[in-house]
Amino acid sequence: MEASVAVVILNWNGKTWLDKFLSSVVASNYPNLQIIVGDNASTDDSVAFVKATYPQIVIIENDKNYGFAGGYNQVLAKVEADYFVLLNSDVEVPKDWIKPVIDLMQSDESIAVAQPKIKYQKNKNQFEYAGAAGGFLDLYAYPFCRGRIFDEVELDENQYDTDIDIFWASGAAFFIKSKAWKEVNGLDADLFAHMEEIDLCWRLKNLGYRVVCCTAAEVYHVGGGTLNANNPYKTYLNFRNNLIIMQKNLPKEDAYFRIFIRMWFDLAAWLQFLLKGKTEFCGAVSKAHFHFFRDIKHTAQKRTIKQSPLLQHTGVYKNSIVYSYFINKIKKFSQLNW
């Protein structure tokens, strides 16, 4: 019998996306599958829409908006399956997107997390920003992807059709063994949204688990369906959460050094926003730093039992991706000097 899989879509006022893409999820041909919509106290009629249109789908309603991280924690506490798939509502899937990933994960007990290739829904020949062909970190914990460095997104010309270990899998289509999810207590709800999947992968890697990309499967992501890139709140979350996950998951000496360097990179970003007249984004960066230092003792209490130096992990670029991109003008993952 095939391993049981629960595809869980966390929704918040997302009727537009559910109307557009939920039918593709329902058409998935995996045999031992349940589809669940977890709702973060939506105020639109998305729950009523799902109940009326897809009565076979289970709906789990949260009493308030817990964000991406807390919302999934609340919902998945009520779900039983061998594998959880956290799927964004703005993702279209082909019929055969599940089995290749599950087969790969079943092949090795140490694989805890995986993702398919994530491509752009409006141009399916192009990788999508939020995951592409797997996530990586540089030596200062800047995230980037195989197929996407900063805003440079590559076309998929089968150049990355190799199943490899990565550092993090995208939350847009995130496969995880349920026992691994439970072992580390799911996502960190304090992160609310953005980089929570990187933190989860990092905690699992510190325990010796693997994270992989399965290139035999792909999904198509709209991107920015909940919070677009031009929103200062997204900037705040990204800057704050990146510092938090470094403090949580790195050995202390390693964390102090890399966070110190990151502060200078963040200052450069702050100045760049200022020069462009984007003062609201300057405020977002300043607020992110203030809240990071305000909560530093609280974050210290959540440090993982075991930490490994960053450069000992697979999926880490042993140089600065900022320097490689902006100074050396490297625009493609395949051009990086590993």
Asked if residue 319 belongs to a domain, the reply is no
Asked if residue 194 belongs to a domain, the reply is no
Q: Give residue 309's domain range.
A: 232-313
Asked if residue 16 belongs to a domain, the reply is no
1, burial (CB in 10 Å: exposed 0-12, middle 13-18, buried 19+): exposed
Entry pTM: 0.96
For 133-170, give the DSSP string.
T-EEEETT--EEETTEETTEE-B-SSTT-S-EE-SB--
Q: What would the two tokens of residue 313 be?
A: 């992990």
Asked if residue 292 belongs to a domain, the reply is yes
Q: One digit per residue, pLDDT tens: the chain, 338 residues? A: 899 999 999 999 999 999 999 999 999 999 999 999 999 999 999 999 999 999 999 999 999 999 999 999 999 999 999 999 999 999 999 999 999 999 999 999 999 999 999 999 999 999 999 999 999 999 999 999 999 999 999 999 999 999 999 999 999 999 999 999 999 999 999 999 899 999 999 999 999 999 999 999 999 999 864 555 689 999 999 999 999 999 999 999 999 999 999 999 999 999 999 999 999 999 999 999 999 999 999 999 998 778 999 999 999 999 999 999 999 999 999 999 98
Asked if residue 283 belongs to a domain, the reply is yes
Q: What would the two tokens of residue 71 be?
A: 């919302």
Query: How far, CA to CA in Å, does 193 sit from each of 13, 69, 187, 234?
Result: 16, 6, 10, 9
Asked if residue 126 belongs to a domain, the reply is no
Q: How many domains does the chain have?
A: 1
Asked if residue 303 belongs to a domain, the reply is yes
Asked if residue 288 belongs to a domain, the reply is yes
Q: What is the sign of the dihedral through the CA atoms of 56, 72, 120 and 31?
A: negative
